[in-house]
Amino acid sequence: MNKSLSVIVPCYNEEEVIAESYGRIKKMLTKLDHPSDIIFVNDGSVDRTEQLLSQFAKSDKSVKVLSFSRNFGHQKAVTAGLHYCTSDMAVIIDADLQDSPELIPEMILTMEKANAQVVYCVRKTRKGEGFFKKLSAKVFYRILNFFSEVKLPVDAGDFRLLDKSIIREFNKMHEKGKYIRGLISWVGFKQIPFYYEREARFAGETKYPFSKMLKLATTSMLYFSTKPLKLATTIGFFSVIISLGLAFWSILGKIMGFTHADSGWTSLFVLIIFFGGVQLLTIGIVGAYIGNLFDEIKNRPEYIIEKKQNFETGKDEKTKQ
C-alpha cells in the first residue's frame, strides 16, 4: 500500500483563493495513488474563509479543518497542521497557489528515488513579487546563514515534503517561537532540494506585511544563534579600545599642549552619542533574548483551536504532543 499523504494549508483571509486552491489540490490528489487528506488551518480569518472551508469539509470527508480562536500567525498554523497530521508524509503549502500543488507528485518521486526524509523546494524565480520583497528575502537568507549555527538552505520557504520521522521529531519540539524551516534543517536526516519556479499569487494581497516578515526574521535569528550576543560583546570590546585610545590621546595632548580642551565641544558631542548608541544597541540585543526567554517561560499554549472538523474525536488529542 502506498504511503498516506497530508497536505497542510495555512489560511488567513484567503476567501479569494481558497476555492481554487482546494480544487487544484483535490484534483492532484485524485490522480495520485496515495491515501490522502487536506488539513486546512484557518488562522483566525475575518473574511469568509471559515465558511468556505466548512462547506468543503461537509461535502468532502478528506478535508479536515482546524480553526484558531484568533490570528496566531503562519508558523503557528503550520505547527498545528503538523501536530494534527497522522499520515506517513506531509506537504506544507501556501493557500495562494504561489507554490503549485501539481509539483507534489514529482516531489514524492524525488523523495522515493533519493530515499530522503525531506524534499525542500528552492525558488529559482519568484514571479509577481515586488523588488523590495525579493531583495529583502535574498538579503535575509544570507544574513541568517551568517548568524545561524545550523546550516539553513537559502531561498527555500516552507513549501516542502516531510516524512513521518521528521514530523515525529518536529512535534517533540516545545519552543514557542518557531522558525519551522530552520527547525526542520536542524533535525537532520537526508534532506534534498527541489528547484521550482514560484508563481505569482493567484488573487488577493500578501498576508505577510513588513511587520510579520520582521517578526519571522527576528525569531529565526534569536532562536538559531547566539552570535548577536557575541556581536554585542565584540562591539563593546572595540568601543573600550577606542575610548582608551582617545583617553590616552587627550591626556597626552593636555600635557604636551597639542589639544585645546575649550574647543573640544564637537568631539565630545560625537563621542557621547557614539557610546550612547553602542550601549543602547547592546542592551537591545540582550533585551531581545530576555524577551524571548520571558515568552518561553510563560509557557502559554502556542495556539488555541476553536473548532475542528472531520477529525475523529479522541484521536485528535492523542496526535497532539
Q: Which DSSP state fits 258?
A: -
Q: Among residues 25, 39, 67, 73, which is the contact residue for ligand UDP, using CB under 6 A?
A: 73
Q: Among residues 6, 7, 12, 108, which is the contact residue for ligand UDP, using CB under 6 A?
A: 12
Q: Among residues 15, 37, 50, 94, which is the contact residue for ligand UDP, using CB under 6 A?
A: 94
Determine the interface stretch with Mg ion among 59-67, 97-105, 114-122, 289-297 (rule: CB under 5 A): 97-105
CB of 222 to ligand UDP, least distance (A): 19
Instruction: Report the distance separating Cα 315 and Cα 168, nearest Å.
Output: 16
Residues 56-95 that bind Mg ion (CB under 5 A): 94
Instruction: Report the distance separating Cα 230 and Cα 223, nearest Å.
Output: 14
Instruction: Report the distance separating Cα 92 and Cα 6, nearest Å.
Output: 9
Query: From Mg ion, ligand UDP, none, which one binds at residue 147 (CB under 5 to 8 Å depending on kind)?
Result: none
Q: Which is nearer to ligand UDP, 210 or 249 (CB)?
A: 210
Q: Among residues 64, 83, 160, 207, which is the contact residue for ligand UDP, using CB under 6 A?
A: 207
Query: From Mg ion, ligand UDP, none, which one binds at residue 95 (CB under 5 to 8 Å depending on kind)?
Result: ligand UDP
CB of 68 to ligand UDP, least distance (A): 9
Can residue 98 be called a binding residue for Mg ion (CB under 5 A)? yes
Residue 73, sorted as left (phi over 0), alpha (psi -120 to 50) or beta, turns out to be left
C-alpha cell at 205: 494581497
Can residue 50 be called a binding residue for Mg ion (CB under 5 A)? no
Helix (H) or strand (E) segment spanning residue 170: helix 164-170
Residues 13-32 that bind ligand UDP (CB under 6 A): 14
C-alpha cell at 71: 490570528
Q: Which is nearer to ligand UDP, 3 or 212 (CB)?
A: 212
CB of 305 to ligand UDP, least distance (A): 14
Query: From Mg ion, ligand UDP, none, which one binds at residue 182 (CB under 5 to 8 Å depending on kind)?
Result: none
Can residue 96 be called a binding residue for ligand UDP (CB under 6 A)? yes
Is 122 within 8 Å of 156 (Cβ atoms)? yes
Q: Which is nearer to ligand UDP, 136 or 292 (CB)?
A: 136
SS3 41: strand
Query: Pick from 16, 186, 24, 161: which is nearest to 100 by CA?
Result: 24
Q: Which is nearer to Mg ion, 175 or 205 (CB)?
A: 205
Instruction: Report the distance separating Cα 277 and Cα 273, nearest Å.
Output: 6
DSSP 92-155: E--TTSSS-GGGHHHHHHHHHHHT-SEEEEEEEEETT--HHHHHHHHHHHHHHHHH-SS---TT
Can residue 309 be called a binding residue for Mg ion (CB under 5 A)? no
Helix (H) or strand (E) segment spanning residue 308: strand 305-309
Instruction: Report the distance separating Cα 81 and Cα 64, nearest Å.
Output: 10
Give me Rg for the CA atoms of the chain.
Answer: 25
Q: Among residues 29, 38, 66, 74, which is the contact residue for ligand UDP, using CB under 6 A?
A: 74
List of residues contacting ligand UDP (CB under 6 A): 10-12, 14, 43, 71, 73-74, 77, 94-96, 98, 206-208
List of residues contacting Mg ion (CB under 5 A): 94, 96, 98
